Structure 1
Amino acid sequence: MKLKGWSALASVLLLTTVMSACGSNNNDGGNSAGTNNGAANNGAANAGTNDGAATNDGAATNDGATNAPAANDKEFTIRVGAWFLDERPYMVQFKKDVEEAYAKLYPKAKIQWDVVLGATYFDKLKAQFASGSAPDVIFYQGADIAASGNLADLSGEPWVNRLTDGAKKDMQTHSGGKTYGVPMGLSIGGGVWYNKKIFSDLSITPPKTAQELFDAADKIKASGKTPITLGFKDQWTAQMFFTNWLNSYTIDNPTLGKDVYDGKVKIADDATIQKVYTNFEQMKEKGYFNKNAISIDWPQSGQMFASGEAAMIVQGPWMPGANVDNITKGGFDKFDIGFFPLASDDGKVAMTLGSNEALGVNAKTELMQESKDLVNLITTSDIISPFMAGDGALTSFTDVSVTYADPAMNEVQAAVDGSTVLTSQFISYLPASAVTNMLDSLTKVVSGVKFNPGDLKAAQSSLEKDKATVVLPAE
């Protein structure tokens, strides 16, 4: 894995794709990341409010915790805030494991899980920070929270030295050279998932260049299948596809985003950006997409893939679990899925990588040591490894391995290992309004309108108008 351009990924990778996904559907699969979504914000779509107090009356061995205090008889209730802890088996087991391990440290303590569905959680958390009523231990997303002053500095905690190189550079959990949160696993920004049976039947190997992707799509279309299913009614899916492909093309032009931000390059004039649009135009003209690509949403495109009608879908790491769920609910024939990243013309690949959920401690908690102890035990392998596996996340700790139910996740790891890994991307340098303009242009192309670089002038105008709203990635 070649590390390049480490900076604030969370606001783009997580909040734009992950949260949008969960908020748009109720099928978030085995990983659902989020309110992201069946998509990388874990299963908020199915998460109900669970604010009851769980009594820690079980005793479990916490063999991974270091510097843990001896058990004491202090009685207290510690609150843990989250937006994604629902009733999926691995989530239920996670809470049970945490409660039992914490009981070993504090037998008379109670953990109160303050779970609020989706984006509402973040609105509530903001208000709680302002009023001084936030939970003691906080699951969160967003680099802005790490830099807000609302979280305690955890740089001296024993688990910090166990973080992987990628996790140490995660901008959602680090700010100003300090560590404010635990990366609960690292997630990719997306890629291509494919039906292995269809590929095998047609003697297709995973494409390693853009042309090989087009060639594969030709064979699939000739067989009567839809090569790639899109659910562009959910705009975050369009953003995922576009940015993943653009990332690989910008390897040879790594300062493109900053150059556009600085005014050195105009969005409408850049050949690299135009290339991705013309790729989509070519795919549309050749009939590689489903005809209803802009009128169906992510769950519908997922069902189309699960049914075997389409051979490929561009989605995040939650796709293996979501596909199993779709097959079961739809009564479709089972098939294995594989993964490959979107490559440039010459086979170069860049992938985004960052934490999905982060875990921190309220800087104003009256239970500071107790909160740090809780966070510390959550980082132990017995507790966090099953969580990462269920989440479809790559490990963020050097001493924690993850065994996935679906071997396709091993292909994800291999893809990351063989790519240039980014934690910021071109759109990190654009205001939301400009990104929306660019996606509107993409939607037009996918609907059948010929690409016109002049259409991107709207994005340039939005950049110039709203430039002050951009929070630049760290250099």
Structure 2
Amino acid sequence: MKMNQMVKRSLAVLLAVFMVVMAAACGNNDNNSGNNANSSGNSEAAGSEEKVSLNMWTWHPSPEVWEPILNKFYEKYPNIKVNVSVYPSLDYQQKVPIALTTGEDIDIVGVQATAFAAQIEPYLEPMDGLMKEYVGADWETKYDASSIEQARKITEEFVTAPVGSAGAMVIYYNMGILKELGLEAPQTYEDLKEIASVLKEKKPDVMPMAIGGKEGWTLDEVVLSLLGQQTDLYNDIRYNQASFNTPEYVQAIQDFKQMFEDGVMTEDVMDLDYSRSLEVFSNGQAAMFVQGTWESYLLSEPIRADKQIALEDVGLMAFPAVSGEGTPSIRSFIDIGLGVTQTSEHKKEAMDFIRFMTLEEGADMLGDQFIVVPSKVGYTPQAETLTSDEAKASYERMVELVQNPSADRNNLSSLSAIIGSELQRVILSGQDIETTVKNIQSEFETGKYN
């Protein structure tokens, strides 16, 4: 009996040592594989007050975006140092749960509004109490209402402070090409058909609409945008496992197919991936481009110049109704959220940083780079970022769309790719819509996506 107890104790000690070594190894590997965006700041701590160091892990935005944001933060909070580690999205989804489980020294985490959020929820501090203590009793009035509503949806408890949202899909259009053709900015589906028709006659080498059709998820996004003009069915599918096999979804695919039949989209888009479709539009080889609002920097002349995109002027619109009457709309959702770990010993300082990123200059800096539509109430981009009337009107249109979505863009990514493959068959192989919807519903009913 005593021997068994000694063996058990020895095994327990060995296991504890093993876990410590593994945690340390994980930390070392993370430091080597992540990209750090850590600036020392422009000022040292006042007097003899000790500087607090925070560790933050995220996947977005990139390190070069973080550097000026951190410098601005240090001007306002000189006694706080933030070590930001940025990982590729898929690596991030794998690393963070392990790091939180093994007690990695992390104070703040970027929260993706996917199943990832629910996975790490047990390790995050409830946000209601933190907001009341460090932002104020009226904190909810300082954020866009839809952002708070969405943040409360992604986990059982509210553990995510919303930084900003993005939506899909929108149509970007090249005003330089349209003016050259004697056309106005499009508003209706008939306008899109006219653009395609005039291009075919006068500029046959210019694609009417570029989209990364080779990556099927983009096609799924278009169909869901068309669906949202009539109904919020997607939310019922996403949260309640409702059926795709409805007249509204069938009509959305029919409208999608109609765009190819009318020449608004051509089969050439099926050879384009995301990067190539953006390149085609940026080079003036397409009059229009379909992607999410995360590409809305295209509206900004100074940012286009910085990226060496030689387009005269760019506008943005939602997909118009293809058939019947519908309200042009997009699906949107929180694109960046921030959470405080339960193990953090510096919750006040962590909330100082979250307040800066959601309600102060940090939020403004992300907005001015068009990375997200900030969740803070009252944000407006700097005047120099939007120089044309078309760009200004398009930005206002985008904000209205993002803040008033037809449904949540809370995607089931793996299902989206499968749906995209079915939609490719509709266009390239002539697969009938009834079979397409049946295949999609059958896949959904496998239970993999609940």
Q: TM-score, normalised by structure 1?
A: 0.73
Secondary structure (helix, strand or coil) at the match of 1:227 reads strand
Gaps of 5+ in 1: 1-47, 61-69, 471-475
Secondary structure (helix, strand or coil) at the match of 2:171 reads strand
Q: Distance in 1 between matches of 2:234 and 2:62?
A: 40
CA contact (8 A) 1:125 1:134 kept: no
Q: How much has 1:342 moved relative to structure 2?
A: 0.7
**Pair 1:141-2:116 in alignment:** no
Give the match for residue 111 of structure 1.
82
Q: Aligned runs of 1:371-450 on 2, under 5 Å?
A: 371-403=350-382, 405-406=385-386, 408=391, 410-417=393-400, 421-422=404-405, 424-425=407-408, 434-447=415-428, 449=430
CA contact (8 A) 1:208 1:343 kept: yes
Secondary structure (helix, strand or coil) at the match of 1:231 reads coil
Gaps of 5+ in 2: 1-32
Tell which has more relative contact order, 1 or 2 (C-alpha 8 A, sep 6+).
1
Q: Distance in 2 between matches of 1:182 and 1:427?
A: 17
Secondary structure (helix, strand or coil) at the match of 1:184 reads strand
**Pair 1:182-2:161 in alignment:** yes
**Pair 1:55-2:40 in alignment:** yes
Quick one: which amino acid aligns to residue 365 of structure 2? P
Aligned CA RMSD, in angstroms, stands at 3.5
Q: Distance in 1 between matches of 2:338 and 2:410?
A: 26
The one-character-per-residue Cα deviations of 1:245-299 (angstroms, maximum 9, x if unpaired) are 221132xxx34763798787562xx332222322333332344334432222111
The one-character-per-residue Cα deviations of 1:422-473 (angstroms, maximum 9, x if unpaired) are 3735986xx6665444322211233252534213212121122216x32xxx
**Pair 1:164-2:123 in alignment:** no
Which of 311, 315, 333 aligns to 1:354? It is 333
Give the match for residue 214 of structure 1.
193
The one-character-per-residue Cα deviations of 1:157-213 (angstroms, maximum 9, x if unpaired) are 31633112222212378745x642322222222200001122223343344443443
Secondary structure (helix, strand or coil) at the match of 1:187 reads strand
**Pair 1:343-2:316 in alignment:** no
CA contact (8 A) 1:151 1:362 kept: yes
Q: How much has 1:79 moved relative to structure 2?
A: 0.6
In the TM superposition, structure 1's runs of 4+ consecutive aligned residues that sit over 4 Å from their partners are: 143-147, 172-176, 259-266, 322-333, 425-428, 431-434
Quick one: which amino acid aligns to residue 102 of structure 1? Y
Q: Distance in 2 between matches of 1:260 and 1:79?
A: 34
**Pair 1:129-2:114 in alignment:** no
Secondary structure (helix, strand or coil) at the match of 2:364 reads helix
Which of 414, 437, 444 aligns to 1:463? It is 444
Secondary structure (helix, strand or coil) at the match of 2:227 reads helix
More helix, by proportion: 2
Quick one: which amino acid aligns to residue 75 of structure 2? E
Q: 1:384 to 1:330 in 2, by over 3 A?
A: closer
Q: Distance in 2 between matches of 1:261 and 1:79?
A: 34
Give the match for residue 16 of structure 2.
none
Quick one: which amino acid aligns to residue 165 of structure 2? L
CA contact (8 A) 1:231 1:296 kept: yes
Q: How much has 1:387 moved relative to structure 2?
A: 1.8
Give the match for residue 42 of structure 1.
none
Give the match for residue 258 of structure 1.
236
Q: How much has 1:58 moved relative to structure 2?
A: 1.4
Q: Distance in 2 between matches of 1:87 and 1:259?
A: 36
**Pair 1:311-2:287 in alignment:** yes
How many residues align structurally?
Answer: 400
Give the match for residue 248 of structure 2.
272
CA contact (8 A) 2:56 2:82 kept: yes
CA contact (8 A) 1:190 1:316 kept: yes
The one-character-per-residue Cα deviations of 1:56-81 (angstroms, maximum 9, x if unpaired) are 45169xxxxxxxxx987134421111
Secondary structure (helix, strand or coil) at the match of 1:78 reads strand
Quick one: which amino acid aligns to residue 235 of structure 1? G
CA contact (8 A) 2:333 2:409 kept: no
Q: How much has 1:314 moved relative to structure 2?
A: 0.7
CA contact (8 A) 1:186 1:396 kept: yes
Give the match for residue 247 of structure 1.
228
CA contact (8 A) 1:305 1:313 kept: yes
Name which one, 1 or 2, has greater alpha-carbon Rg.
Answer: 2
Q: 1:289 to 1:249 in 2, by over 3 A?
A: same
CA contact (8 A) 1:230 1:290 kept: no
Q: Distance in 2 between matches of 1:340 and 1:261?
A: 28
Q: TM-score, normalised by structure 2?
A: 0.77
Q: Distance in 2 between matches of 1:119 and 1:128?
A: 15
Give the match for residue 211 of structure 2.
230
Give the match for residue 284 of structure 1.
260
Q: 1:166 to 1:257 in 2, by over 3 A?
A: closer
